[in-house]
Structure 1
């Protein structure tokens, strides 16, 4: 499909979202605030009026005259996120946002028929472009950018997005769809080259693979839906300075799915390649090392 189709699709989606008032509520969260950071529970109205939750963590000091730079943090399939207090202590207003049916947002809305598998959502309504779970999840993340855009203490010309696994895929998608994103840091991203991931039966796509095996009559419609979600097709629209990590051995986000996406990004970019992500990817050596790359990237470009 031509790139123009992609642009029209997401412009239409953003117009749908814009019809829903954000209705942001902000409540101080004293138990997770301290002398260095102030934390708030945020509830926002998103696509179709579904409410989503986020943590908004800011430095305890007064913002600079031009406002703090901001980072939106998006979760992995398992709900893992970069510590918001860590980023706020470094001087970033940090919005840790959970798309509908995930993490804190489960308290507002749950995916119908959720099996409890962290990858269940990959096949949810996959034959319907505007009912597919990730269509709504992308709009939820855009709503997070809307929230940051309303904040007087945020420098809206300095907004970044970051996340790991699912969150990394969401990060790349936000950078492609919304030019408010100036910097993107995607850690071992999923939602990349989805048909290949399905063919390989990579762990993040296993349930989607099984669904398509059980419902071969749905394959054509499913692949058309996934085309609009896949970062392989979105990447050439990314204008943000983008840092990506990937691993030569990775059962969840195979190298062969991520590298073609990275290669298509036309903006200033860099990649950190690790030998093996079969270890615990959300802690340990890979995360410790990549955190330093992330902070350096923010310092240099945000």
Structure 2
């Protein structure tokens, strides 16, 4: 047994009890049905970009509750084929859709890219939702006493509707939709691929939202806001944890049908690696994970990006 095997053997056996409620699947089917009833109402504006090798569009579409979701849709102009694969990018917590140059490594692979601003964070996307409870100091606490109102319900559906947008674009190969994201974005990737069978591959790094109860107990990362909330309102603990259980990717993992290419850092104190294995170990299909024993929440960085590019290239050949 080598060093890494010795460090990680217990991770591949990590299966904490699920917190899934009896109405979990019913809740998500109802949510998806509600989402489908909201028209996309897409608006696209060509963006003046200095490179002749790409076309860039500023896009808006209706999210879950008609919140206007903003994104960049970027297409390579040098690819001589009728249909393009497309990577849908979900950013980390308190991030945004970035700038077009951030995605040129994907463009060189011959893929289109659609990167969206998650609602109520640091991008252009606002939030039309109304909340009857929860702290407003952190998005992860909004609506936290009611699963119907909870912040991530709308976010997960906004991300599903990003796939709807991509599928309206005639030049996109709907058999080659790839989800990509890190941290919060990795969580969104896991959730979307559990709730929608259109993606063929999810590439997720240092994912969040797995074994959320343990995250709250540890006060780790974005869920430290929930820990702080429960310091003030300990009487709401059961209600809060019940709400969070519907958005925990470990409770969704058995629904994931696409390939998964993942990574974690063993020194990650924000999204602890062990907690992601509560999701990863329950994914039934083809999957691969790279473990970086001396890295934290930054993950495998440039080395792992090289690995993702190679994995993507092989995936697109199939």
* TM-score using structure 1 length: 0.90
1:91 and 2:110 matched: yes
Counterpart-to-counterpart distance in 2, 1:92 and 1:68: 6
The answer to whether the 8 A contact 2:20-2:251 is kept is no
Query: Which structure 2 residues correspond to residues 152-167 of structure 1 after superposition, within 5 A?
Result: 152-167=170-185
In the alignment, what sits opposite 1:179? 197
1:190 and 2:216 matched: no
Counterpart-to-counterpart distance in 2, 1:150 and 1:63: 20
Q: CA RMSD in A?
A: 2.1
* TM-score using structure 2 length: 0.86
Rg comparison, structure with higher value = 2
The answer to whether the 8 A contact 2:20-2:246 is kept is no
Query: Which structure 2 residues correspond to residues 223-238 of structure 1 after superposition, within 5 A?
Result: 223-238=241-256
Q: Which moved more, 1:253-262 or 1:186-195?
A: 253-262
Counterpart-to-counterpart distance in 2, 1:140 and 1:77: 15
Q: Which moved more, 1:287-296 or 1:160-169?
A: 287-296
- Count of matched residue positions in the alignment of Structure 1 and Structure 2: 291
In the alignment, what sits opposite 1:207? 225
Deviation at 1:217, TM superposition (A): 2.1
Task: Tell me: CA distance 1:63–1:217, structure 2 relative to 1, closer, same or farther (3 Å).
Answer: farther
Structure 2 residue ranges without an equivalent (≥5): 1-18
In the alignment, what sits opposite 2:13? none
In the alignment, what sits opposite 1:269? 287
Query: Which structure 2 residues correspond to residues 240-251 of structure 1 after superposition, within 5 A?
Result: 240-251=258-269
1:40 and 2:54 matched: no
Higher helix share: 1
Deviation at 1:81, TM superposition (A): 6.4
Structure 1 residue ranges without an equivalent (≥5): none
Query: Which structure 2 residues correspond to residues 70-81 of structure 1 after superposition, within 5 A?
Result: 70-79=86-95
Deviation at 1:252, TM superposition (A): 0.4
Task: Tell me: CA distance 1:241–1:198, structure 2 relative to 1, closer, same or farther (3 Å).
Answer: same
The answer to whether the 8 A contact 1:57-1:85 is kept is no
